[in-house]
A and B are shown apart, each in its own frame.
Chain A
């Protein structure tokens, strides 16, 4: 990484993420007290009503494949971790060996220019991230190239005309 990028990195580190609001902090502290006191209402409370483990598409995939993602099926009682949470993807990936992997970005397409409500001239750019993976199916030995593209939309103020 060259010096100018390192300088930019330092500038970014100088930007401070916004703190929790006072009311949010109070709610979280109350919640911690309730969890520690073992109040069942605390564990059931969900401000956005999520049921991510049971509802996660990834979990459904693991179950339908019948590959025994132990943590989701409750067979493994050990402590969850980041790798446990990603276990479903690993179960699928376990059938393949990754031979090669590459990611690159394609240049922007012609921007779409528009006038925002507050009078700014803005432009919408499209960028494409391409990921190419070459994998080998362990059982059959078949080699597959998987290419995925992600399209990023960038909305920014137009400064040159």
Chain B
């Protein structure tokens, strides 16, 4: 019994280590700072543990984990007050710190610009982009998660890419004449 518990604990911890950066990147869109996103992840763990009871408490699939993070985030956002959140988010961007994509991993000016521009995308576009690129979900899974059609998910994704491309081009032209 104790051996089984130990093995299960190891499975969950491995799952968490692999999934946490993706889930945190998604949570950051709905939280004011890294600490709140980590709290949200902790809360999601509790919910996911309860959900997985009928699956012998196996670690969950990523789409279910994102879904729980989303609903917890919505609830969290409602409680905090949307206006307050928006104001703080703008201040956070102005400070140019506390990013949710790791700046230490970047090795080029373009990557730095790209990270900043991703963080300033509109919420809905960034949400789909995050789920697709870093969450590894399909458009069908994103559609199901956000309760939108696959086509809407795909068009938001494409629009996010186009908007980033436009901004990058514009910035490069300005920087390099």
Contact = CB atoms under 8 A, between A and B. Distances in A.
A18 B101 CA distance: 5
A47 B43 contact: yes
A24 B167 contact: no
A9 B161 contact: yes
A129 interface: yes
A59 to B, nearest CB: 10
Given A5-B158, A33-B9, A86-B144, A11 B114 contact: yes
A101 interface: yes
B111 A28 contact: no
A155 to B, nearest CB: 5
Given A79-B51, A156-B167, A18 B43 contact: no
Interface in B77-111: 78-79, 86, 90, 93-96, 99-102, 105-106, 110-111
Interface string B30-46: 00001010111111011
Given A20-B20, A101-B152, A1 B158 contact: yes
Contacts of A21: 34, 38
Contacts of B118: 12, 15
A35 B45 CA distance: 9
A127 to B, nearest CB: 6
B55 to A, nearest CB: 6
Measured as residues with beta carbon below 8 angstroms from the partner, the interface class of chain B is: 35 or more
A83 B9 contact: no
Interface residues of A, number: 68
A152 B125 contact: yes
B129 A25 contact: no
A81 B95 CA distance: 39
Contacts of A57: 78
Interface string B58-76: 0000011011100110111
A2 B155 CA distance: 14
Contacts of A134: none
A146 interface: no
A35 B49 contact: yes
B108 to A, nearest CB: 9
Interface in A65-91: 77-83, 85-86, 89
A139 interface: no
A121 to B, nearest CB: 12
A159 B54 CA distance: 55
Contacts of A18: 21, 24-25, 34, 99-102
Given A4-B165, A28-B41, A33-B9, A17 B102 contact: yes
Contact of A48 (B57, B76, B96, B141): B76
A37 B4 CA distance: 11
25 contacts: A5-B162, A12-B164, A15-B102, A15-B106, A15-B115, A16-B102, A16-B105, A17-B100, A17-B102, A18-B21, A20-B24, A24-B41, A28-B45, A36-B8, A48-B36, A50-B79, A78-B54, A101-B149, A101-B152, A117-B94, A122-B94, A152-B122, A152-B123, A154-B122, A160-B170
The 5 closest A-B pairs by CB, nearest first: A152-B122, A17-B25, A47-B39, A24-B38, A17-B21
